[in-house]
Amino acid sequence: MEPADISPETAGEADPCFPRPERLQKILSAHGAASRRGAERMILEGRVTVNGSAARLGQSASVGRDVIAVDGEQLGPRADRVCIMLNKPRGYITTVRDDRGRKTVMELVSGLDVKVYPVGRLDMDSEGLLLLTNDGGFAEIVSHPSYNKVKKYEVRVRGDVPAAVPLLRRPMVIDSHTVCAGSVGILEQTGRGALLSVSVSEGRNRQIRKMCAAAGLDVESLKRVSVGSLDLGTLEPGQWRRLTSDEVRALSGL
């Protein structure tokens, strides 16, 4: 039998022989290509095709009927869920690839036998707990502010800490957005500063660094030590491990 002639115009229409059509970003995240937001960026950048034609944001397709490819590589079968925790060292950027040749966190998990992508971000100069997964649902629950997953950081700062801490505990306007730390505590006081414990649930770009700067503090180091119910524990910098099914369930309900 000759294969059906499927054009981009008909891609995504219902067919009882194949799974129901779904939005491309949902398909890509479910197959471990990227988070849903990352998939949207891929589509806008022209990296995704459906049946040989550039995909459109909002387009639907049916896995098995439509040929979906990312960067010219056809999407493979859906993999089992993989969620790992990495202790990110300084000097690595949180991205799958970097056009400027900088070190990425993917180099630290190169021995993993399945494709994963980072959940959220830690900037190059920050360290600590970073989650990676191939499951878009898990990534969405952990990273989206609406799920209120508290992220705790240890921040070593220089400056007038007694004057700054009350400011950090109040709502602040950062990059035109009102942000507020869930809690701020002093873990250790030094002659020129302190080690602070700061918790946030939203986590905007470089939020804690910008909050500290607004309060008159210089950040010397920033380390994420927990996300929701998950603690970094004794995991060494640069090392990673798979989350247990109980840890995944406690963190995401999946």
- Determine the angle formed by the axes of helices 36-44 and 136-143, rounding to 10 degrees: 110
Residue 123 is among the residues annotated as catalytic for this protein: yes
Task: Name the nearest CA neighbour of 63 among 114, 98, 29.
Answer: 29
Q: Compute the half-sphere exposure of residue 192: CA atoms within 13 Å on the CB side of its CA.
A: 6
Which residue is catalytic, options 15, 66, 123, 160?
A: 123
CA angle 133, 146, 172 (to 5 degrees): 110
Tokens 């929701």 belong to which residue?
228
- Helix and strand totals (H; E) in the chain: 6, 17
Task: Name the nearest CA neighbour of 208 among 170, 177, 232, 180.
Answer: 180
Distance from chain centroid for Cα 33 = 13
Task: Name the nearest CA neighbour of 39 among 20, 21, 53, 59.
Answer: 59
188: β partners: 195
- 3-class secondary structure, 242: strand
Dihedral-angle region of residue 215 (phi above 0 means left; psi in -120 to 50 means alpha; beta otherwise): alpha
Enumerate the active-site residues: 123
